[in-house]
């Protein structure tokens, strides 16, 4: 008969993983504790004279010198890939009805503005306004997330969904490189204005998805994955 750990023993594992193992994310803690608990229960089942503490030490040794860091890194890589698929899924939504109307409105507005003032428009000033807007919104997001994380458990999944990932960094870097490129180029004809308007539109869409849409649905996605844990 399989020996199951008591609630008190499970609590000991959680406390160790969080404080001694230095794992701040609750979803990663769940996975590690589950792994440890299964290993300990198997040892207790195989050897009736084995006590909990010894089985616990044996289970922890299997993680090696790196401790739980390898498992944290694996979870981060897996969630980054999942986020990439989610970002692409949301991006496609902006080109299907009804969100495509919003995308078209943004594009037509930018195109009309650039085309109308193409001879006298100060694109460098527009880029500065563009970057300042993104910078302020990004700063607001950091401050908001900091206070939210202080009030609740930290979830690696939630942190990734809120934009703390490689896709966000890549997108912001691409937007910045685009603004640098436009400052050293002249856009006078219709095709060039079209291309610039299209890139601006895509930038706004990605910004909206990364900093508003996906974070707005992060709690829902978290509950779907950990339905039996989050009430």
pLDDT of residue 225: 81
89 has pLDDT over 90: yes
84-96 mean pLDDT: 93
228 has pLDDT over 70: no
128 has pLDDT over 90: no
% the chain with pLDDT above 90: 26
Question: What integer best gives the mean pLDDT of the chain?
Answer: 81
Q: Is 175 helix (H, G, I), strand (E, B) or coil?
A: helix
- 153 or 105, which is more confident: 105
Q: Is 150 helix (H, G, I), strand (E, B) or coil?
A: helix
- 157 or 192, which is more confident: 157
According to DSSP, residue 25 is labeled B
Two tokens, residue 130: 């563009």
Strand partners, 154: 25
179 has pLDDT over 80: no
pLDDT of residue 55: 93
Angle between helices 123-151 and 166-183 (to 10 degrees): 160
202-224 mean pLDDT: 86
93 touches 99 (CB < 8 A): yes
pTM across the whole model: 0.76
186 has pLDDT over 70: no
92 has pLDDT over 90: yes
149 has pLDDT over 60: no
pLDDT of residue 136: 80
Tell me the domain boundaries of the chain. Answer: 7-67, 75-225
Q: Which residue has the tokens 């616990």?
A: 56
Q: Which residue has the tokens 């694996």?
A: 74
pLDDT bin (cut points 50, 70, 90) of residue 99 is: very high
193-222 mean pLDDT: 86
pLDDT of residue 106: 92
pLDDT of residue 123: 62
pLDDT bin (cut points 50, 70, 90) of residue 32 is: very high
Does a cis peptide bond (omega within 30 degrees of 0) precede residue 9?
Answer: no
Q: Which helix or strand (DSSP H or E) is residue 91 part of? A: helix 69-93
């Amino acid at each position: 008969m399989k020996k199951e750990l008591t609630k008190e023993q499970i609590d000991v594992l959680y406390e160790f993983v969080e404080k001694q193992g230095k794992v701040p994310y609750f979803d990663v803690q769940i996975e590690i504790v589950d792994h440890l608990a299964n290993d300990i229960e198997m040892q207790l089942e195989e050897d009736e004279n084995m006590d909990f503490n010894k089985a616990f030490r044996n289970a922890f040794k299997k993680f090696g010198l790196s401790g739980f860091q390898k498992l944290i890194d694996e979870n981060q890589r897996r969630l980054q890939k999942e986020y990439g698929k989610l970002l692409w899924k949301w991006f496609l939504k902006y080109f299907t009805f009804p969100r495509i109307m919003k995308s078209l409105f943004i594009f037509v507005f930018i195109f009309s503005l650039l085309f109308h003032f193409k001879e006298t428009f100060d694109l460098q000033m527009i880029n500065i306004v563009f970057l300042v807007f993104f910078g302020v919104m990004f700063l607001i997001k950091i401050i908001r997330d900091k206070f939210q994380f202080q009030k609740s458990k930290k979830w690696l999944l939630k942190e990734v969904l809120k934009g703390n990932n490689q896709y966000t960094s890549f997108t912001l870097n691409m937007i910045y490189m685009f603004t640098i490129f436009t400052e050293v180029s002249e856009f006078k004809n219709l095709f060039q204005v079209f291309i610039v308007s299209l890139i601006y539109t895509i930038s706004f869409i990605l910004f909206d998805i990364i900093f508003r849409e996906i974070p707005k649905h992060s709690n829902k996605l978290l509950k779907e994955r950990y339905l039996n844990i989050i009430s």
